[in-house]
Structure 1
Amino acid sequence: MVSESDEAIVSEYTLNLERERAFRIIAEHSMLLKPGPLRMFLNRPGGTGKSRVINALTDFFQQRNQSRRFRLCSYTGVAVKNIAGMTLHSALLLNHCAKKGVMTQTNHDLVSMWQGVDYMFIDEVSMVGSKLLVQINNALCRQLEIVGCLAE
């Protein structure tokens, strides 16, 4: 499934073996006909190229005219500005979500916002605590109706 354009992206962003592996896992997953959920955590110290992987994936999806399939998010407004994304609270309407099983206008808005989105990348994930991670998971599960969510 590796194309010349994928190789060009790997080269352009000088992805080392570890970053290249993460890039390829996501790229290949995105080409599957009916992929299951993909949960990946890139945990490295600051300045080791995690954002480089996100930038490479941004190009990957843009080259395929599939930018709609992913959403860039972060915990803080400063980080959001750096990645041209959205805060987690805005992207998932975390301050507005109703309890599980109750479809409110907010839940409908959330479903609409995420229609066609297959991947969410969280930059600066080290700032996300366990409580917020559960809220993120629950919001995604609620609107995507994913079976086997982390919180279940």
Structure 2
Amino acid sequence: MQQEANTSNVQLQSPLVEEALTVVEPIELKPDQQHAYEIVRWHLEQTLAGKSIPALRLLIHGEGGMGKSKVIQSITAMFEQHNAENMLLKAAYIGITASLINGKTMHSISMISHMGHPLSDEMKAWLSQF
């Protein structure tokens, strides 16, 4: 007996996820989001120009639905346009959000054990570089 091909479409992502993953133009960001974007843009331009400036650590926080992922996706697109993706490290508190921004969890980036084991001196020295 021949089986019919399944032609139904499976929706893998919700509309909210699709919206979060959509890159927006910087002009479409809210003023505080534009400010964060411009800080990163300036820092990236200075770094690519060979200027010696300290590493930028930027925390974007807020309640769910505030547009954090949109800002991060726009910043990611900027790095991609400059072929500098390897210079961008993205982290989130929880795995779902980390996967949305194609990043990692804070615990995995900082190599903090979830088992409660203290950090070795070697790990502390490595983390102090950042």
Matched, 1:74 2:88: no
Instruction: Give ranges in structure 2 of 5+ residues lacking alignment.
Output: 1-23
Unaligned runs of 5+ in 1: 1-7, 108-138
**Aligned pair 1:63/2:81, yes or no?**
yes
Match of 1:143 in 2: 126
- State whether residues 42 and 50 of structure 1, in contact with CA within 8 Å, keep that contact through their aligned partners in structure 2: yes
Greater per-residue helix proportion: 1
TM-score by length of 2: 0.62
Pairing of 1:52-131 with structure 2 (within 5 A): 52-95=70-113, 98-99=119-120, 102-103=121-122, 107=123
Give runs of ≥4 in structure 1 deviating > 4 Å.
Answer: none
Give the 5 Å matches for 1:25-64: 25-32=39-46, 33-64=51-82
Q: How many residues align?
A: 100
Per the TM alignment, residue 62 of structure 1 is displaced from its structure 2 partner at its CA by 0.5
- Percent of matched pairs sharing the same residue: 26
> Offset of 1:145 from its aligned partner?
4.3
Does the CA contact (< 8 Å) of 1:9 and 1:60 recur in 2?
Answer: no
Please report the TM-score for the alignment, with normalisation by the length of structure 1: 0.54
Root mean square deviation, CA, Å: 2.6
The structure with the largest alpha-carbon Rg is 2
Q: Deviations over 1:37-85 (max 9, x none)?
A: 4343434332121211101100000010000111221222222222222
